[in-house]
Amino acid sequence: MTRIASTSAPSVRFSVALVAWACAFTAAAQPVAVTPKAAEPATLKANAGMARALPFANRQDFEDAMRGFIGTVPDALVTGTGPRPVWNMKPYDFLKANEPADTVNPSLWRQAQLNAIHGLFKVTDRVYQVRGFDLANVTIVEGDTSLIVIDPLLAAETARAALELYYQHRPKKPVGTVIYTHGHADHFGGVKGVVDEADVAAGKVQVIAPSGFMESAVAENILAGNAMNRRSQYQFGTLLPPGPRGQVDTGLGKALARGSVTLIAPTSTVEKATEERTIDGVQIVFQLVPGSEAPSEMLMYLPQFRVLNMAEDVTHNMHNLYTIRGAEVRDGNLWAKYIDEARVAFGDKTDVLIAQHHWPTTGSARIVDLLKKQRDMYKFINDQSLRLLNHGYTASEIAETLRMPASLEQEWSTRGYYGTLRHNAKAVYQKYLGWYDANPAHLNPLPPVAQAKKTVEYMGGADAVVARAREDFKKGEYRWVASAMSQVVYAEPANRAARELGADALEQLGYQSEAGTWRSAYLVGAMELRNGVPKIPGGGSANGDTLKAVSNELFFDYLGVRLDAAKAEGKTMVVNWNFTDSNQKFVLTLENSALTHVKNQQLSGADATVTLSRATLDAITLKRTTFPEAVQSGQVKIDGNRAKLGELFGMLDNFDLMFPVVEPRK
């Protein structure tokens, strides 16, 4: 789920964020230096309490994670063309310590140790996984004459390395089929590391995906892609160095690879709710689960091997109903139903359950138990959040009130390493009632800076607020201190004392967080309060693969997002667009500071008509040429008033990736 691209046509800058959370990792040239501090007494106490509360003596997951281990390469090292490796587990050697660092929640430490296990693993006869070479797993099924590769990771480099590791230990059959379980980039981005697109085009390799895959791969993120990219830096801690006072784990996997994200369009899609296919002698039953963890997703059952692949719908943690990088809220009730459908259909026929993250579960009884508990986790969050909101509880009150039942709270597989009960409960509220809590005082409050200035004034001024907050910090009231110092920073961005104390509070919250995502968000926030927003150079990182997934309709929708309404005030124009390769025609209309388009039409009285191929538009987007150069070379033909086109592009806004998050914009 991937990167940012900027182009001009002549001044158009088209951001392609195929799956926004991945691109932030590749954008940072070097981690920004931070000055982390030690754990405070309140953090030591909180983490010690967590160590006593959970069944750490249960080592079943570690046994499961090592079962079937065949081999690996030192540190799972994958080099790239740049100065830094694409993937390297060496920086996580600190996790080999016998005891958790006191700056890491011990439950997260345990998950981080499990996610640090890497190598090639035998799941069962003819079914293998490479784990720990990227955020996700790649699953390899041996057909009669070829390999079936399920979810080729995030980057071509890591996918290639994973396949090479497999070939070191298994017969070198060619890859004949690639299957994408869903449209997040950590599950398709490495496809060109395992197959050649020319072989796909020639029919030598097939690519199978769930219905709606290509739309899902871009639509969730592109229109808000720049904001999602920035927020992803917080969710994944991509600006933090690995370490006991830095990035430890995402909860879902160790980290995001830094390599080349690629995409090959499916040659076939699964359209029926349940669909059976035989691929090179391997029977696969596909179960579509749209709207669960992704808008387009599918599970699969391999009856010959009694293996159930739950994609990303059942993993060894609580997943997100709402992801803090930003995305549409997911339906916990629907998610639970899909899990139960899989349990009923395949549970008693399954010996091994795998997923495209984490490690397998073996034994029918254990598998059914896992499916039930994962089902009930999402159902509980959905139903109990709805129960409380129907009692009039607000989102924050629900998050503060709701507690998992003891039967689930003691289960490692339902712990909030990636999603959390608090923010998932708020997601249910958001899904059904939206942002407004019905209190009229909250209907139209002051904007953040004005609100902060008045609040700090009422509290006796910044110095008084900071002085009181220091006392609360000593008491371990970090949530309040972080909130109070945020108000001071918004009122007085240059107030160093407030920035430092706010950073200290966020840091302690990070050290206490069980969720890898929350830890990263807190620590990145602390880093930016201390050091300011990192200076990361912009630049295009989209490629032809990602642009192929962007339809012409979505391209024009995104132009509308980029329209600066103030610059467009009082202006009107109509531009015909004619794409020669697809024969698609559009009328693009500017009126009332809104840019709209209609497909399959051309207007005879348009201000201008642009004729070009989509390949030419992509070349302009990728800065391989410019709009004027394309016109001069004959790749673009403009009939009518050319100046109107330039005027339109001059109204389009550009987005800065590194906008401020923990301080007001200047």
Residue 7 has pLDDT above 70, yes or no: no
Mean pLDDT of 421-428: 98
Mean pLDDT of 214-237: 89
Residue 10 has pLDDT above 70, yes or no: no
CATH code for the domain defined by 549-650: 3.30.1050.10
Residue 2 has pLDDT above 50, yes or no: no
Strand order of the β-sheet with 594-599 is 594-599, 585-591, 573-579, 608-612, 637-640
Q: What is the pLDDT of residues 171-196, one digit of tens each?
A: 999 999 999 999 999 999 999 999 99
Q: What is the pLDDT of residues 67-84, one digit of tens each?
A: 999 999 999 999 998 889
Torsion of CA 472, 473, 476, 479, to 10 degrees: 90
% of the chain with per-residue pLDDT over 90:
88
Phi, psi of 444 (to 5 degrees): -145, 65
The two structure tokens encoding residue 612:
């070009």
The top-level CATH class assigned to 20-376 is alpha beta
Residue 205: predicted pLDDT: 98
Q: What is the pLDDT of residues 103-128, one digit of tens each?
A: 999 999 999 999 999 999 999 999 99
Q: Where are the alpha helices (DSSP H) in 434-539?
A: 448-458, 462-474, 478-491, 496-512, 516-531
**Under 8 Å between Cβ of 365 and 353:** no
Domain with CATH 3.30.1050.10 in the chain: 549-650
Torsion of CA 321, 323, 324, 327, to 10 degrees: -110
The DSSP call for residue 600 is T
Residue 542: pLDDT band with limits 50, 70, 90: low
Q: What is the pLDDT of residues 295-325, one digit of tens each?
A: 999 999 999 999 999 999 999 999 999 999 9
Rounded Cα–Cα distance for residues 546 and 221 (Å): 12
The two structure tokens encoding residue 535:
């200076």
Residue 627: pLDDT band with limits 50, 70, 90: confident
Residue 33: predicted pLDDT: 59
Domain with CATH 3.60.15.30 in the chain: 20-376
Cβ neighbours for 278, distance < 8 A, ≥ 6 positions apart: 284
Collapsed DSSP state (helix, strand, coil) of residue 201: helix
